[in-house]
Amino acid sequence: MDAQMKKGLLDACVLHILAEGDTYGYRLTREITGLMAVSESSLYPVLRRLESQGFLETYSTEHSGRLRRYYRITKAGIGRLDEYKSELTELKRIIDFVTGGDDNG
């Protein structure tokens, strides 16, 4: 898969997971690796970038005697996720056309 397309899809996946609830990096990695090949080391720069863009925020909570960093989607992040959904709906229509998977003939 094209690296730029994968990057956009990874951003959308992260925001989608966080829209379902706050979580920590390792759990995000596990959920996303079920969809696409991504390493934990490649996910953290994405999280930092999304945070710097204002799409998510972090907080720490103690877990088993250690601090665990959690990620939370922001209002701006929800707006960006809605934009991704719209873009992906259009992309799906095009992919269905090209691959013959369009149910509309």
Binned at pLDDT 50, 70 and 90, residue 63 comes out as: confident
Whole-angstrom CA distances from 46 to 6, 64, 66, 76, 94 are 12, 26, 23, 16, 27
Q: Which residue has the higher pLDDT, 70 or 2?
A: 70
Instruction: Provide the pairing of β-strand 23-24 with 56-63.
Output: unpaired
Phi, psi of 34 (to 5 degrees): -70, -15
pLDDT digits (tens, 9 = 90+) for 92-103: 999 999 999 766
- What residue ranges in 3-100 does DSSP mark as E strands? 23-24, 56-63, 66-73
What pTM did the predictor assign?
0.85
In whole angstroms, give the CA distance from residue 85 to residue 95.
15
**Rounded mean pLDDT, 41-68:** 93
| pLDDT confidence of residue 82 | 97
All structural domains of the chain: 3-99 (1.10.10.10)
**Rounded mean pLDDT, 12-37:** 93
Residue 37 has pLDDT above 90, yes or no: no
